[in-house]
Structure 1
Amino acid sequence: MSGQPVVAEKGPKAIQVEAGKTYDWCTCRKSTNQPFCNGPHKGTSITPMAWPAEETKTVSFRECKHTGRASLCNGSHSNFLSADAPSVSRLSSGAGLR
């Protein structure tokens, strides 16, 4: 895997999380279920980042991969974001959820 960030999306993905649940945020950048892990890191030393939801609310997970290892968006994508609007979805399949 390259040392350079792979952009999954140019902006954050807003997702409704549930209090008390832990979400596995993808750090290998190869998941087809961004921003959550669905296992493509297996066989490497890379592991997903556990993100525990402290309350039920909508949070913006980063997909630009330009914020270091932090899972939540900090606006770094604005440096290269065009007129595209951030993507918004709800976690419905349970993938990436512990």
Structure 2
Amino acid sequence: MHLVVIAWLYVALMMAVAEATNTNGTVLGAVFTFLLYGLIPVALVVYLMSTPARRRALKEREAVEREAAIRAHAASSVAPDAGGEPSADAVAPVREKS
């Protein structure tokens, strides 16, 4: 894919050079030739062709985040008395004064 992009940009650059060096050509015409025949179409094609890779990367990132959230939730949902000590009364008994 990169080879095609480089080759197309080279062809567009040579068209722009031919436009600039022609007796009837201008440098402004060469710039627009390079932009309209080379840079803009290539950028659009590369963007469209890389869409599946971007989607795949987004799904992988979401899956990793989901896994991390599940692990964090599992680690934080341990029973409070998991230390192995016997459970105590929630309210301490009240002693009567004698």
What TM-score comes out, normalization by structure 2 length?
0.21
- Structure number having the greater strand percentage: 1
What TM-score comes out, normalization by structure 1 length?
0.21
- Structure number having the greater helix percentage: 2
